Structure 1
Amino acid sequence: MESIRDLMTDDHRQCDDCFVAVEQSVASGEWGNATTQFDQLRDAMRRHFAVEESILFPAFEARTGMSMGPTQVMRGEHAQMKELMAAAGDAMAARDADDYSGYAETLLIMMQQHNMKEENILYPMCDQHLAAQLETLVPQLERGINATEPMP
């Protein structure tokens, strides 16, 4: 049985790979590819956030009684990253490499810090507190992450 930490960390790496692909296309001036890859990045991040906010965080909060703790911080960071993604998307649509790069750099720093907190603190806590639910919870998370439709 895969752990929450392993599953969700793997999804972070998938998002990182999408981010790198966008960066390479923007740097090469391949705006058509960059736009397609940016859409994939945005969709992957939306699915990741949605899975956490609709499945993982509520399960953790119900089990621990902590609703104003680490999950609340992560939700706030998700909102900030969504705003950065929207701004980066506007820059992408305008084919403004400088603006895109500025938003992308800020987003990258935030993603790295956010992922470290989840991977080293929150996910291990989830594995510990939700151990009895892993058999049903992990497949739910996998289905959400691997969904083909974009999330709002």
Structure 2
Amino acid sequence: MNKIATYMDREHRRCDEQYAAAEAAIARKDWDTAEDDFAAFLRMFELHLDKEERVLFPRLDRAMGNAYGPTAVMRAEHGHMRDTLCEMSAALTRRDAEDFFDNADTLRVLMHQHNLKEEGILYPHADRALADQADAVIAGMESLALAEAGSPA
């Protein structure tokens, strides 16, 4: 059973779809829609990272007895992606499509490599290592989503 992997893979696809909508709006220079779509993507993406960093990774670290292994690499990559997204946000604020897409190229490479590692290695490992906790892990991630939905924007 691949509960965690399936849940997280689905989140990757939803983030990808929202990002594609933002990118399409920027390409059309529909700046108001682009700002809304990119802001929605950033909320989804940050929530996804929070689910990993606050729920999945700590449990995986405990199960492996190692907080300096694969999850440390994933956290570092999250930082690189967040930095790139800040640059993209600034470009969007300036309505600078060229700078946005220059940074988007970097983000695309970072996300592709990152997702390959998560989907091919980390999530399947989480399903094995946390098999008896999978429902609790997913419930914990869902509670973060509910808390986010209930908090003021």
With the length of structure 2 as denominator, give the TM-score of the two structures.
0.93
Q: Distance in 1 between matches of 2:73 and 2:145?
A: 21
Aligned residue in 2 for 1:102 = 102
Classify the secondary structure of the residue corresponding to 2:149.
coil
Shift of 1:144: 2.6
Structure 1, unpaired ranges of 5+: none
For this pair of structures, how many residues does the alignment match?
A: 150
Instruction: With a CA cutoff of 8 Å and minimum separation of 6, indicate the structure with the bigger relative contact order.
Output: 1
Cα deviation digits, residues 51-89 of structure 1 (max 9, x gap) = 100110000001111211110000000000000000000
Q: CA deviation at 1:14?
A: 0.7
Query: What percent of counterpart residues are identical?
Result: 35
TM-superposed deviation, 1:26: 0.6
In the alignment, what sits opposite 2:32? 32
Question: Do residues 121 (structure 1) and 102 (structure 2) align?
Answer: no
The answer as to 2:102 corresponding to 1:112 is no
- Alpha-carbon distance between aligned partners in 1 of 2:97 and 2:135, rounded to the nearest angstrom: 45
Match of 1:83 in 2: 83
Match of 2:54 in 1: 54
Q: Distance in 2 between matches of 1:98 and 1:76?
A: 27
Q: Could you say which residue in structure 1 is the equivalent of 2:138?
A: 138
Distance apart, 1:137 and its partner CA: 1.4
Q: Distance in 2 between matches of 1:45 and 1:79?
A: 12
* 1:148 match: 149
Amino acid at match of 2:63: R
Once the two structures are TM-superposed, the CA of residue 125 in structure 1 deviates from its matched residue by 0.5
Partner of 1:17: 17
- Measured in 2, the distance between the counterparts of 1:84 and 1:119 equals 22
- Structure 1 residues 69 and 58, CA gap change in structure 2 (3 angstroms): same
What secondary structure, in the 3-state scheme, does the structure 2 residue paired with 1:68 have?
A: coil
Segments ≥4 residues shifted beyond 4 Å: none
Superposed CA RMSD in Å reads: 1.5
Q: Alpha-carbon deviation of 1:105? A: 1.3
Structure 1 pair 93/149, CA: closer, same or farther in 2 (3 Å)? farther
| Kept in 2: contact 1:60–1:126 (CA 8 A) | yes
Q: Which runs of 5+ in 2 are unaligned?
A: none
